[in-house]
Structures are given as structure tokens and as C-alpha cells.
Amino acid sequence: MAEMKTKRFSIGYALLSKKQKSFIQDSLVSLAKQRGIDLIKIDTDKPLADQGPFDCLLHKLYGEEWRKQLQDYLVCNPSAIVIDSPEAIERLHNRISMLDVVSEIEQVNGDESHETASFGVPKQIVIYEPERLRDAKAWGEALNFPVIAKPLVADGSAKSHKMLLIFGTDGFDELKTPTVLQEFVNHGGVIFKVYVVGKYVKCVKRKSLPDISEEKLSSLNGSLSFSQISNLTSDERNDDKYYKMMDSEEAAMPPMSLITNIACGLRKAMKLHLFNFDVIRDTKAGNRYLVIDINYFPGYAKMPGYESVLTDFFWDVLNKKEARSFNCEKELMTLVGDNGGCDGETGSHNVSSA
């Protein structure tokens, strides 16, 4: 009896070389192939419309030319699925609009043991004029030193990752505008990185910037780059005291009910399926968590077992469990028959301190 031939799917991927090297590993390609999914590299030196056809397009490229190529491809291949819409991704290129989305998420009580947990974002403002940097009165209410200075544009470039911790007005000397000033919140030297892949959510614990006491703050001035802060505290981080602190009550994992609520809300509000967000716990406010950053298509290969998580996601997308369509007139990707997965969530959730 002849064996039935199962349908194979093709996913064309367009990634910068660094992202391609970290993400498209042999282990992922092999596992996807076993599930009937072929990962095929898109040649970015050739028109996209001349390649494929692909059942799905996976990308992390930016710019009007690439957006136009995607649009043209989908006009010719209307059944193809794009993960994710360039318009939706673009929202994360601005550090103000990036975190504004958090306010769109409903505060939902978690399980009984964590019903008092809440979330938000740190106080922040954007400064466009250099002269306003030194005028703390122009910053609005309750934004005090120290502050974190971040470039307004978050496009993944080396320049967009340059951040400073500023202790006083003399720390603004070499700062260029537009820049975002965000309050520095003591958070026990721990940051929680939450990876989202469709409906799958995983939270891991990482070391972060150390707390700054009022006493220590009075002796600090100017500014420090994040790399300088890491170097200054490396000795202290390698001692037993630091690791004991990492295991202390302050470093406890956040309630997973809260994390999945935020992840689900972000996915629905942003219409994105591949992202991560960073969360800290405000040690002064107790059970309050702050979202401080959101990134599109992060370094998933750092996540244990990423191959099976991504392959399962691709399978769901290709089999229309995460069905999408592309509206060429509005150039907008919309979810079809999917409420964002927030009601009756079926995704996997995982918490780890690895």
C-alpha cells in the first residue's frame, strides 16, 4: 500500500546575518524538517516576489523598501502568512510608544495568593531640546535623580543600545537629543526577562543593575554607562553575598498569573507574536512590577528548548490555529478568528531562574 504523502510547508526567513547565525541553528532546521516545515533563506539581494512561493514569511528587516516588497509579495500570494506586520513592529522602535501599550492592558487579578500584585511602567519623559536636559523643572512631577537616559529610537542598532545612568545635571554633558529619561527604580539587582512566542510564555531571572541607596547616591555625580556599571560591580557580584541575595525573598519570581496576563495583553494590543519584555520588581512598592523594555524577535536561542517552542508555533501558524490575513488596502495585518488568546488561554507557561 502506497504511503500517503503529507503536505510540506515552507517558511522563508529574511534576517540580518547576526540574527540568522544565532536563530537559524541546525537543531531548529532539523526539528522543523521532521514536522514537515522547511526553513528557506530569502536572498535579500533579489526581489522577494521572484522567490518562493512560501507558505509563511519570517522577518526582522526594516525600511520602506522591505515593507513594499512584503506588500507586493502578498498581492501575488494572498494566502501567505507574514509574521509579523511591519506596522506593528515599528511601534517598538520608539521607546515612548513602546511602553504606552502597557496602559492598554487591563489590570486583572491573578490567583488568590497574588491578587494584590500590580504592574505599570516607570515614570519617563522624552526630551527633544538639549537645553531642557539641564532644566529638571521642565521634566514634570516626581522624576528625580538618578535617571536612566536612553535613545528615543530603539531600532536594534549599536547606537540605540547606548544607555547612561545619570546622577546629576553634570551627567548630561555629552548626551544627545532626542532622549528618553526614565526613573531608576531599585529592584534588588534582578530583572525578569519574559519571552513570548505566540501563546507560549517563559519567564527567566537575570542579574541587573545594583540598587543605589540614598547614602550612596549623595556621593555620586556625573554619569555612568551601563557597561561601566557592570564593571564596577563585577567583584561584588561574584561574591557569595550577591548570589545569596539572588536567592533571597527580593529575588523571588513574579506571580506567573500576572506575567501571563501582561504577555497576553501585550500580544493582543500590539498584534505581535514574537517578542520579549523586561520586568522589574519595585522593592519600595512591594508587590508592584514595572515593564521597562519590549523587544521584537529577541534572542530566542538563549531560551532552553527554543527549537521545540518555535517549531510548535510555526506549526500552529501554518495550520491556521493562529490564522492571519493581510489587508493590502490598509497595509495592516489583522487577526482572523482569534481574540488574541486571552480568553481560555491554552498556551504553555514556564518560569525558570536559569
Q: Which residues make up each annotated binding site?
A: 19, 60, 95, 150, 161, 182-193, 208, 278, 293, 295, 299
Question: Hey, CA dihedral for 144, 145, 146, 152, is it positive or negative?
Answer: positive
Binding positions for Mg(2+) are: 278, 293, 295
H/E segment holding residue 291: strand 288-296
Name residues whose C-beta falls within 8 Å of residue 164's C-beta, 6 or more positions apart in sequence: 148, 149, 171, 175, 223, 224, 225, 226
Name residues whose C-beta falls within 8 Å of residue 245's C-beta, 6 or more positions apart in sequence: 188, 189, 251
Binding positions for ATP are: 95, 150, 182-193, 208
Per-residue CA distances from 169 to 8, 132, 133, 136, 224 (Å): 60, 11, 8, 8, 13
Site of grid cell 518560569:
351
Binding positions for 1D-myo-inositol 1,3,4-trisphosphate are: 19, 60, 161, 193, 295, 299
Residues 265 and 120: their CA atoms lie apart, in Å, by 12
